[in-house]
Structure 1
Amino acid sequence: MLFNRVVDSAITIIMVVSLVFVAMRILPGDPAVAALGEYATPEQLAAFRARMGLDAPLWLQYLTFLRDIVTLNFGTSMITGESIAAMLLANLPYTVELTVAAMLVGMIIGVPMGVLSATRRGSAADYSARVIALAGFCVPDFFLGALILIIFGLKLDLFPVMGGGVGFADRMEHLVLPALTLGLVMAAFTSRLTRSALLEVLRRDYIRTARAKGVDEHWVIYKHALRNALIPVVTGFGIYILTMLSGSIAIELIFARPGVGSVLINGINSRDYPMVQAGLLVFALFVVLVNIAMDLIYVLIDPRLRRVSK
């Protein structure tokens, strides 16, 4: 099973990077002009294209591109001349810590809220949780980020609003508002998903049997029902993490925060082919790792899946 997952992941990555390669070259505009400016001479533009390999046939550029990916040679930026690998390594930790922190916020808030809503169905707590979750769906993450920035950063002056910080304590302080923004949106999704999955499980026969035997209600909910309800929750959670990547790019821009998303946007604006290709490759790898992690979590939640996967 693991071998099949690795093969599928490799095929997915190749398809993604191939689409990126084609898309970057059919878009209008000339990267040589973007790098050297409108007043560059034809000789300077030709020299730049030759140096970056842009004058080679498209098929040769593609083969060179695949070779560089296999050897992890991301090259240098067309605009700044800096090592792309060094830039990504410097910015990747900021994106990872934002994603992980937002996941924790979403789980800590969303799962208990969903459990409360399901176990108090029809009550004021249920309606309040559903309204809050619906509001979380309706508010775009970039608007929520701007709102949180204004309230907690500018008005109340509780947290810094720009940058990623230097040192552990400073970085955690800069992380609060961006992680809260993405986490609240994820909490709304997680709450609704947890409620639906738990309500479905609570209708099953083995839950009625456990209650008929006099098992404590908290034990029934958290040991029997919630554990089985977490399987669809984890599935939806994994899918939402992938969609959250686009939200993390917007949040990095709103809070002027370093990260892979900021590097990617700068590369797109300047038509920096190597930078965009490397940035999207990082996101593709992240998607693959998340999918593999979800498969492992399924097995931890439900040991019966171990026998199925063998």
Structure 2
Amino acid sequence: MDFDADVAVIGDSPLAAARDAAVPSSAYRRGAILMCAPDFFGVDYIINPWMENQVGQATLERAQAQWENLRSSLAAHSDIAFVAPTPGLPDMVFTANAGLAIGDKAVVSRFHARERRPEERLFCDWFEAQGYSIAPWPDNVAFEGAGDALIDHARNIVWCGYGWRSGEEAPRHLERIFSRRTIALKLVDPRFYHLDTCFCPLSGGWLMYYPAAFDLASQEAIRAIVPAERRIEVGEKDALSFACNAVEVAGRIFLNACSDDLRARLIDAGFTPVETPLSEFMKAGGAAKCLTLELPGAARKFTPRG
């Protein structure tokens, strides 16, 4: 089967160069990202609305091609680390949920869904092997890593979603562990069960997000912290294409898909949107951000996958 069209990357827009001043190059950072090959990926159970009617419907060959396209695109701008995939754990490919790491300290996830709990020990082993200090986390507080905790480098804060997969107490624990102000955001739409499905902090203090995924108090908290001129609000169509489930590296925003309007607004802000279709992973409720874990401040050089 020919998957070329399915994994095509839309190249850098020539308009972006004319708008570089919107986000200074000094705001961009080359970092490290953790990924897991989709050797055992599939939709084998239902733990979020996206999985409804998708059990057994994912095509592994297409998923592998899409993942490799994302990996190679990111590798041009970031160091990539890998955790070994494990049979029987189809969602381990979504490394955003491994935990949250800042510098040499990490919190390992406490999964809400029992199907994913065996991943916890494997991710903990990986962090420990890399020299991270594992912070203690209460067993009775669900927390699903960088799926719900997103670092805003421009403001030196952590945004933490709760309500579906992470507990309401999670933001308080993160603030204590990492000594960073942590903003709690309540998610109210089950389609956007993790914060990273509807919220994406960007370089230069920009924010791309879908307001309707949050309760009114959380919407007000976002508006109080991020000025209107730095907020990029997306509509439902872009949100359902997981446009906010994006990875920004060196001013490029890698995402499953986006409308022409959103593309134009991102370019006006000084970014270069790069579409990396991830239809197979969408069947499990994930896209580009879900497939990656940012490792900010990692003082190590990772070996690329051969």
Q: Same fold (TM over 0.5)?
A: no
Normalising by structure 1, we get a TM-score of 0.24
Q: In terms of Rg, which structure is larger? A: 1
Normalising by structure 2, we get a TM-score of 0.24
